Amino acid sequence: MTIFSKIIAGEIPSYKVAENDKFFAFLDINPVGWGHTLVVPKQETDYIFDLSDEDLAEMTVFAKRVAKAIKKALPCRKVGVTVLGLEVPHAHIHLVPLKNEGDMDFRNKIDSPDPEKMKQIAAAIAGNFE
């Protein structure tokens, strides 16, 4: 069971922002910026391009809805989209609010993000999810 499956199952706490029957979205615990969100399929698959065409399409549309909620909740020009997957073997899309290109530099993480602020941001995104 991956760490993300444990989060989905509620065995490990997360700052959840959205969920449906197939996908789950929550804040990255070590964010590159405020609002950095991960979108994952509930079914464990390591590599995103091993998902079926249908599941990949559905995941992309779900991520689009999450990105729209991020854009409404936080000041940004656009929401950046990245797939890395080098650390956690459970497919996920990174969504990061962008004011400029440097906001998506994964070498720059927020140092010890304040839990209360993370909670507020997750609630703000969740409140704008349609």
**Is 88 one of the binding residues for ligand 5GP (CB under 6 A)?**
yes
Cβ proximity to ligand 5GP: between 7 and 95 the closer is 7
Residue 92 a catalytic site member: yes
Choices 27-35, 55-63, 71-79, 115-123 (CB under 6 A): range interacting with ligand 5GP:
27-35
- How many CB atoms are located within 10 Å of the residue 115 CB? 9
Residue of 36, 90, 92, 94 marked catalytic: 92
CB of 27 vs ligand 5GP, minimal distance in Å: 6
Choices 25-33, 63-71, 95-103, 121-129 (CB under 6 A): range interacting with ligand 5GP:
25-33
Q: Closest Cα partner for 20 from 47, 44, 40, 49?
A: 40
Cβ proximity to ligand 5GP: between 48 and 73 the closer is 48
**Is 23 one of the binding residues for ligand 5GP (CB under 6 A)?**
no
Burial readout 6-38 (b: 16 or more C-beta within 10 A, e: otherwise): ebbeeeeebbbbbeeeebbbbbbbebbbbbbbb
- Which two three-digit tokens encode residue 44? 């464990």
- How many CB atoms are located within 10 Å of the residue 73 CB? 22
Helices (H) and strands (E) in the chain, counts: 3, 5
Residues that bind ligand 5GP (CB under 6 A): 3, 7, 12, 14, 26-30, 38, 84-88
- The residues annotated with a catalytic role in the active site are 92
